[in-house]
Structure 1
């Protein structure tokens, strides 16, 4: 389990940087169009990885049936919904506010996995989930009061969108775990199929809102496409080896990475509090590995 946890931690850093870049460099682009472009470049970047394990990919593809197709479509649909909701929330609010709320995904993953999949966690692992989730709360803490983040979530449109996105992400995370572990879909097959299915779902919206794009802008899309391919590969490996209730809280500490980047590079407020949250996140990850 330890190597997979290391992979999940690396995925958190990759996705945290990705969130920062979305806010910093891609805010002006239509959301569906942006995701489609990222996924197209990501698939191109990922094709060499597919070729390396061509035999295993072919074997997994031959066994692909209706259950595999169903879980692929369901996971892609819930992830697309989660991403669009998150991008809307990110466009309307600050990174340091929206991201921590969105990344309470493990709060929803744990009961889903326990109730539907019979997952059993040790007491220390449950404590690790609680600590990692509390780290997200601390990152979003407001000095006006202990329950201020909850009040914000109840009355703020960005917070509401971020919370609904978190629920969709949680359902998608459990679906990903079922696909990779219970149905044993090969990781190198899953990634391009997942990107491709999401692209098809997003394409009608993307075509309807195409922005003007200069040649000078293309390299940054190519670069982020590589980042997305790498992040999805790490995420897929994590969910292929770990229960969703463990992989999800580790990967969703990306909220802390995004908040710290926002504090350092964008000069956002409450930076010391965000560092405390980062420490709590590390403690939570350590408990999950025991």
Structure 2
């Protein structure tokens, strides 16, 4: 469990920087095109390292029944959809606004674990869901009526997309925990397989949304981003392989705090205090969920 917590915290830092980079360096690139090229670059970075660090070479696929294959496929599809939706959210909203909302993933993870995996729901988890929901309220508050934030959360496009990505990531997190834990899928094999599955899933959409000027101007950024994604996915996989989904999801989603600070300080986005407080509330809420 201790190693899982360390990996989860490291992943939070990596993905927080990644959220900032998406907003800062990839504005205007379609989400499917971005996903396709960054994932391919991440695989090319990851495969040589994974093969070189394994004592017995590259691991083989573990035996999986039809249910396991279905869980794996659903995890890939949900993960790819979640990433694309989150990129859309960042394209139409500030990273410091989107991050606190998009990273309340454990609010959706817990009900899935309770109803689908028959986990017990503790009173602290209920309190955590309430606190995390308050974070969404605070992120949307800009003065005026107390009901205005709720209306904005329902009608504002960035908030809608951020909440949708959180729900999709929740399903993917549960699947990732099952694949890496219950089905003992090797981490060094999981990362390139997961990334390749997402790339294949988004390839048709990427071809339809191909930029008119081609992708050559963006290739150096894709290569650098791929290195970050490869490291982030590996560290995240190590975390999910050694701790429960709710705990890992809580800590990994502390990336919201990193993203808010970078967005407000380096991009000049407004509302630093309010959005930072919202991010902290989101992390505190999901922390209560994991207690």
Unmatched runs of 5 consecutive residues or more in structure 2: none
Deviation, structure 1 residue 68? 3.1
Unmatched runs of 5 consecutive residues or more in structure 1: none
Report if the CA contact (8 A) 1:8-1:238 is conserved. yes
Deviation, structure 1 residue 256? 1.8
Matched, 1:229 2:230: yes
Q: Deviations over 1:228-249 (max 9, x none)?
A: 1111112111111222122112
Classify 1:279/1:106 alpha carbon distance in 2 versus 1 (closer, same or farther; 3 Å): closer
Which range moved further: 66-75 or 9-18?
A: 66-75
Deviation, structure 1 residue 272? 2.1
Deviation, structure 1 residue 224? 0.8
Distance 1:274 1:163 in 2: 16
Q: Write the mapping of 1:58-77 to structure 2, written as runs, cut at 5 A.
A: 58-59=59-60, 61-77=61-77
Structure-1 residue corresponding to 2:242: 241
Distance 2:47 2:107 in 1: 34
What secondary structure is seen at the aligned counterpart in 1 of 2:59? helix
Aligned residues: 289
Deviation, structure 1 residue 109? 0.6
Matched, 1:102 2:93: no
Which range moved further: 153-162 or 22-31?
A: 153-162
Deviation, structure 1 residue 55? 3.5
Deviation, structure 1 residue 120? 3.8
Structure-1 residue corresponding to 2:208: 208
Distance 2:65 2:114 in 1: 26
TM-score by length of 2: 0.87
Classify 1:204/1:289 alpha carbon distance in 2 versus 1 (closer, same or farther; 3 Å): closer
Distance 1:204 1:132 in 2: 36
Q: Write the mapping of 1:36-185 to structure 2, written as runs, cut at 5 A.
A: 36-51=36-51, 52-53=53-54, 55=56, 58-59=59-60, 61-120=61-120, 134-135=134-135, 138-185=138-185
Deviation, structure 1 residue 90? 1.6
User: CA RMSD of the aligned region, Å?
Assistant: 2.7
Structure-2 residue corresponding to 1:186: 186
Report if the CA contact (8 A) 1:180-1:239 is conserved. yes
Report if the CA contact (8 A) 1:139-1:273 is conserved. yes
Distance 1:32 1:251 in 2: 24
TM-score by length of 1: 0.87
Classify 1:283/1:81 alpha carbon distance in 2 versus 1 (closer, same or farther; 3 Å): closer
